[in-house]
A and B are shown apart, each in its own frame.
Chain A
Amino acid sequence: MISRFKNALLNAVSSPVLDASNTSSVSGRGGGSSSTSTTTSSSSAVPHSYSSPHLNGNSETSLTNKNARLQQPQHHGSSDYNAAANGFQERVKRYEYGRPHFLQLNSPDEIAVTADHIVRPIIVPRDLTHLPWETGYAETINSGKSKVNEDQARMHAGFVKVEIEDGESEIKEDKLTEVGSHLCQEGPLCDFTSKHSKGKGVMWFPHTNITKDSLIVGALESAFYEMDELIREENLKYDGVNGGCTAVVCLFILGKVFISNAGDSRSILCYRDLEPVPLSNDFTPESERARIRLLAAQNPHLLGMDFTSNEYLRRPVKRDLGSKILYRAAHMTGWAYKTATVEDLKFPVVFGHGKRSRVLATIGVTRGFGDHELYAHSTAIKIKPFLTSQPEVKILDLVEDSLLEDAVVIMGTDGLWDVTSNQTVSRIVFNTLEQFPQVDTARYKYRYVSAAQDLVMHARGKFQDRNWRMSDGSAATIDDISVFVIPLGPYYRDALAQESLTSISLTPLPNSSTLLSENGSCIADSETQPGNEVNANVLATNTTNNNNGLSSSSSFNNNHNTDSVLNGDAADPSVELVSEAIDLEMDEPNH
């Protein structure tokens, strides 16, 4: 197991993951292709004690550089309204709308066809070589609630899958690239040398064991945070970056899968003959009632004059004043009686049940990116403090056994899950896979894409009697639907193959320079950590929008000696600082 860790990772080298890489990502990239360094200056350091002192990730990430930047004033564009400073400038659109790159829908005509609300065509990749492991993907548009499909999906580097949905605005593919790049940089490309794993390389927690897992979890968490910050910043300057979206990300690395979720998209693991295993939890006002109410109770000013953190068995009305009512405060799980006062007539911060539950009577999802300028309806109360970008990260550790070969990870947006149970999803997938036997060589490779298509078909249903209905006659979803079907067997074999690589190289991949120029960051140069001898690092990465190659890797100095602590997250204070991370190391699937 441990040996897998040794070489498994890609390239890189280097150093202190906890520091440099953290922030490098987003801000640098924000300047990216179009406007070089403008973003950098306004980009904020991640204002967390856990984070590294350096703010940006241009390729020269030297310590000096970082420290210098630390002293820059930070502007957080957190003004209530779009920056006054920019108010008189013509705002340009930041991102072009598009569909996932692996669908290769390039002309406006093709994109227009995908938005046919009458037919709701199910779109699948025309060329499967743009996804690893014959991974399946399918999507369809809503039945008319928005002009374009607001789901987005992304596959990055052959290691990362990002799926995002429900952007009310146009936080589009480039953004996803940035998250993906960040992950590649933080995840695969971070190397954790023996020095690290012993804790020597980490100056602020010298005696802590930091595991690779915890570093990857931390990278995912900071990627989500920074993505959210980037949206905040860009929304001040550009059009089309308002609104918000949820995200679920699966990072395939180290023979494991790291599932990072913020919102109500979902990922599950399906076995041929076993019950499906949830890989993420949905974050809705209902599931996060406790967090939301506690936050509200501790910060009453966030509620303005209109809302209360109390919950009532039945919402009191005027004539209840003075009589006993059942309620519970944020610090309670049970119920108690109280005499109703005018205070109790305020609207509960979380109200409603199921799909109808809302925070501040406004949003039905409690984690996600963006929505920095969203207010509770006709009030000056901001939604954002309650809507966090912080993901829950779970780790799926794969074990080679007979179950693994047939196992698939399903990722889907709420359009799928609203009308399809985990069990039904699993059943549909394996029904479809059975129709593509290995002997049928012409069709075999289409099995996962066909499974994805069948899932979307199931959830979209058919148009009958003026409504979209599923095969059993019940209401189908009228929302956008996006689905990945990702086989674990081929991934696991890839991971094993990686492990056996022994090549040592300090040369970045040719395409890493592409990434540099396109994304403006991402590649860390050599770096020295004070007080440690740390290796110079060269991070080779790959993949950009138009590059689908596998990331490669040259790793060296991987002789680290971590013991079998694979779930060190909890022991890692830095991670806790970030987030009270809910790091759930899942049991190995066959146990």
Chain B
Amino acid sequence: MSYAYLFKYIIIGDTGVGKSCLLLQFTDKRFQPVHDLTIGVEFGARMITIDGKQIKLQIWDTAGQEAFRSITRSYYRGAAGALLVYDITRRDTFNHLTTWLEDARQHSNSNMVIMLIGNKSDLESRREVKKEEGEVFAREHGLIFMETSAKTAANVEEAFINTAKEIYEKIQEGVFDINNEANGIKIGPQHSPTSPSSPSGGPGSSPGSGCC
């Protein structure tokens, strides 16, 4: 249960691009073709290993609908990483990236790592946005880029993990102030010198896991 770091992610992008499906594929390794509208915010968590360190990803999946935009904006705060998702079969979702990016830059901390994701790569026949376009957009805006399929799971792991690697590197470089939780990074109990392998009470014993 213990981890070295906890990274907070946020998934953003137009409605219907597959944000909730990406999360579900990453945390539960399953695909749900019909998904309810996300009204507010959903959560998922998973442990990964980077550089031999256990890292917990806490992922906030937001509502893409315009009506919920101002609420979504309030969730950028305190995120270390963002997955900005568009649907390669719907050009409008690609066209809206600039708006999303502006939102993200304005409301998040400046070091937030943003991964651009072109989702639904399994639907090659219906593709409206070329992979190169995504690459160009990412390069121009300093993002990492990947095409994924929440359905086939292609690149889903990589998208989440590569983002984490980037954050981890920034920590090593001292870019992130890891003592400020508003940056979306928490130092886990593993790091605590006083309790190298504390009894860790068992699941459910402390819901507020590592509040300090």
Task: With both chains docked as a complex, state the minimum distance between the C-beta of A110 and any C-beta of chain B, in angstroms.
Answer: 6
For A147, list chain B residues within 8 Å (CB): 208, 211
Task: With both chains docked as a complex, state the minimum distance between the C-beta of A214 and any C-beta of chain B, in angstroms.
Answer: 41
- B77 touching A118 by the CB < 8 A rule? yes
SS class of chain B's interface: helix, strand, loop or mixed? loop
- A109 touching B77 by the CB < 8 A rule? no
Task: With both chains docked as a complex, state the minimum distance between the C-beta of A139 and any C-beta of chain B, in angstroms.
Answer: 10
Assembly CA distance A305 to B10 (angstroms): 57
- A110 touching B211 by the CB < 8 A rule? no
Those of B41-72 within 8 Å (CB) of chain A: 41-43, 45, 58, 60, 65, 67-68, 70-71
Task: With both chains docked as a complex, state the minimum distance between the C-beta of B95 and any C-beta of chain A, in angstroms.
Answer: 22
Task: With both chains docked as a complex, state the minimum distance between the C-beta of B145 and any C-beta of chain A, in angstroms.
Answer: 27
- A122 touching B45 by the CB < 8 A rule? no
A138 within 8 A of B: yes
* In-complex Cβ contact of A457 among B43, B70, B181, B211 (8 A): B70
For A428, list chain B residues within 8 Å (CB): none
Q: When A121-B60, A435-B67 are in contact, do A462 and B40 touch as well, CB less than 8 Å? A: no
A449 within 8 A of B: yes
- B39 touching A453 by the CB < 8 A rule? yes
Stretch of B121-129, B130-138, B162-170, B199-207 on the interface side: B199-207
- A119 touching B74 by the CB < 8 A rule? yes
- B70 touching A119 by the CB < 8 A rule? no
Chain B interface residues toward A at CB < 8 A: 36-37, 39-43, 45, 58, 60, 65, 67-68, 70-71, 73-75, 77-78, 181-182, 203-204, 206-209, 211
- B182 touching A108 by the CB < 8 A rule? no
- B70 touching A446 by the CB < 8 A rule? no
Please name 16 further chain A to chain B contacts, defined as beta carbons within 8 Å, in addition to the given A113-B43, A113-B60, A120-B74, sorted by A numbering: A108-B207, A109-B209, A110-B43, A113-B45, A115-B207, A118-B181, A118-B182, A122-B41, A122-B71, A123-B41, A126-B36, A126-B42, A138-B40, A446-B39, A453-B71, A463-B77
- B39 touching A450 by the CB < 8 A rule? yes
Task: With both chains docked as a complex, state the minimum distance between the C-beta of B197 and any C-beta of chain A, in angstroms.
Answer: 19
Assembly CA distance A108 to B65 (angstroms): 29
CB<8 Å pairs between A and B, sample of 6: A109-B209, A118-B182, A121-B75, A123-B40, A148-B207, A453-B71
Q: When A121-B40, A126-B42 are in contact, do A462 and B207 touch as well, CB less than 8 Å? A: no
- A119 touching B208 by the CB < 8 A rule? no
Task: With both chains docked as a complex, state the minimum distance between the C-beta of A378 and any C-beta of chain B, in angstroms.
Answer: 30
- A446 touching B42 by the CB < 8 A rule? no
A356 within 8 A of B: no
Those of A112-164 within 8 Å (CB) of chain B: 112-113, 115-116, 118-124, 126-127, 138, 147-148
Assembly CA distance A449 to B41 (angstroms): 13
For B74, list chain A residues within 8 Å (CB): 119-120, 457, 462-463
Task: With both chains docked as a complex, state the minimum distance between the C-beta of A203 and any C-beta of chain B, in angstroms.
Answer: 50
In this complex, the interface size class of chain A, counting residues with CB under 8 Å from chain B, is: 20 to 34
- A111 touching B207 by the CB < 8 A rule? yes
Q: Pick the most buried of A96, A119, A120, A123: most chain B CB atoms within 10 A of its CB.
A: A119
Output the nearest chain A residue to B46 by Cβ-Cβ distance: A109
For B207, list chain A residues within 8 Å (CB): 97, 108, 111-112, 115, 148
A443 within 8 A of B: yes
The 4 A-B residue pairs with the shortest CB-CB distance, nearest first, are A108-B207, A118-B78, A124-B40, A111-B207
For B211, list chain A residues within 8 Å (CB): 147
Assembly CA distance A450 to B67 (angstroms): 9
Assembly CA distance A95 to B110 (angstroms): 42
Assembly CA distance A108 to B71 (angstroms): 24
A362-396: CB near B (< 8 Å → 1, else 0) gives: 00000000000000000000000000000000000
Assembly CA distance A36 to B42 (angstroms): 38
- B77 touching A124 by the CB < 8 A rule? no
- A108 touching B206 by the CB < 8 A rule? yes
Output the nearest chain A residue to B1 by Cβ-Cβ distance: A108
Output the nearest chain B residue to A122 by Cβ-Cβ distance: B40
- A121 touching B39 by the CB < 8 A rule? no
Q: Pick the most buried of B42, B207, B208: most chain A CB atoms within 10 A of its CB.
A: B207
For A108, list chain B residues within 8 Å (CB): 203-204, 206-207, 209
Assembly CA distance A96 to B205 (angstroms): 9
Assembly CA distance A116 to B181 (angstroms): 10
Assembly CA distance A108 to B41 (angstroms): 17
Q: Pick the most buried of B40, B42, B65: most chain A CB atoms within 10 A of its CB.
A: B40
For B68, list chain A residues within 8 Å (CB): 450, 453
Q: When A450-B39, A463-B77 are in contact, do A109 and B60 touch as well, CB less than 8 Å? A: no
For A112, list chain B residues within 8 Å (CB): 207-209
For B77, list chain A residues within 8 Å (CB): 118-119, 463
For A449, list chain B residues within 8 Å (CB): 39
